[in-house]
Amino acid sequence: MHQASVIALTGKGGVGKTSLSAAIVRVLTEAHPEAKILAIDADPAIGLSVALGVDVKETLDEIRLRVAKDVTEGLQDTQDILAEAKFRIFEAMQEQKGFAFLAIGRPEAAGCYCAINTYLRQVISLLVNEFDYVVIDGEAGIEQINRRVMEKVTHLLCVSDQSRKGIQIISTIKEVSDSLVAADKVGAVLNRVLLPERITETEIGGVPLIAVIPPDPAHAENDIEGKSVFDLPDDSVILAGAREILRKMEIS
Q: Residues 212, 170, 19, 117: what is their CA dihedral angle, to the nearest 10 degrees?
A: 160
Phi and psi torsions of 103, nearest 5°: -120, 140
Sign of CA dihedral 210, 212, 216, 220: positive
At 87 the pLDDT is 84
Contact of 184 with 155, CB cutoff 8 Å: yes
Q: How far apart are CA 178 and CA 145, in angstroms?
A: 10
* Range in 47-56, 177-186, 193-202 with the lowest mean pLDDT: 177-186
Check which CATH number belongs to the domain holding 60 and give it. 3.40.50.300
* Range in 5-14, 27-36, 42-51 with the lowest mean pLDDT: 42-51
At 155 the pLDDT is 94
Structural domain that includes position 43? 5-248
Element (H, E) at 152: none
E strands in 45-137: 94-95, 100-103, 133-137
Residue pLDDT, tens place only, 200-235:
999 999 999 999 999 999 999 998 998 999 999 999
Q: How many structural domains comprise the chain?
A: 1
At 78 the pLDDT is 63
Pick the closest to residue 103 from 135, 140, 60 (CA basis).
60
Residue pLDDT, tens place only, 144-173:
776 666 778 899 999 999 999 999 999 999
Region 183-211 average pLDDT: 95
Q: How far apart are CA 43 and CA 139, in angstroms?
A: 4
